[in-house]
Structure 1
Amino acid sequence: VLGNLVGLIDSDYQGQLFISCWNRGRTAFTIEPGERIAQLVVVPVLQATLRQVETFTATERGEGGFGHSGTR
């Protein structure tokens, strides 16, 4: 059994990747090196550049939280 889980790997990680799996059946089996048992999806991650400011520019929305965007 391979858990249907999501894991995040840091973009600068350089070590080995490991897959956690276990046999829940009664018959032993071996997973050989090179067998295709998992997937990896590479997704770009935005690296935001933040700027500290003293004050915010006023907007029509103001400080409204959920439900204050005007979109329904």
Structure 2
Amino acid sequence: MILPRSGLGHKHGVVLGNLVGLIDSDYQGQLMVSVWNRGQQSFIIEPGERIAQMVFVPVVQAEFNLVESFDATDRGEGGFGHSGRK
């Protein structure tokens, strides 16, 4: 994942174009980062300046079991916001 550096956004209004970059696990090409200046002042990015940070996240290859039915739970089919209700 490519994430923004918080200081650029808070101090200068400079953010990543897509906010978070998710890279496919099998991607082999060059990485590029688009940057937007949402601030009121011009901002010059110098060569070698840190504008983003990369975080390596393990990829889980999950296997699913197809079932015909399953036991009901207290939560039931409640959607968003139902998991914390009592």
TM-score, normalised to structure 2's length?
A: 0.51
TM-score, normalised to structure 1's length?
A: 0.58
**Distance 1:2-1:47 versus aligned 2 partners, 3 A rule:** farther
Identity of aligned residues (%): 45
Number of residue pairs the alignment of both structures matches: 66
**Could you tell me whether the CA contact under 8 Å between 1:2 and 1:20 is conserved in 2?**
no
**Which structure is larger by alpha-carbon Rg, 1 or 2?**
1
Structure in which a larger fraction of residues adopt helix: 2
**Distance 1:9-1:70 versus aligned 2 partners, 3 A rule:** closer
C-alpha distance in structure 1 between counterparts of 2:33 and 2:68, whole Å: 47
Kindly report which structure 2 residues correspond to 1:23-62, keeping only aligned pairs within 5 A, or say none.
25=42, 31-32=46-47, 35-37=48-50, 38-56=52-70, 58-61=71-74
Q: Which has the higher contact order (CA 8 A, sep 6+)?
A: 2
RMSD across aligned positions (CA) = 3.3
**Distance 1:21-1:71 versus aligned 2 partners, 3 A rule:** closer
C-alpha distance in structure 1 between counterparts of 2:57 and 2:45, whole Å: 31
Q: 1:17, CA displacement in angstroms?
A: 0.4
Q: 1:19, CA displacement in angstroms?
A: 1.4
Q: Find 1:3's aligned residue among 2, 12, 15.
A: 15
Q: Which segments of 5 or more consecutive residues in structure 1 lack a partner in the other structure? A: none
**Distance 1:40-1:65 versus aligned 2 partners, 3 A rule:** same
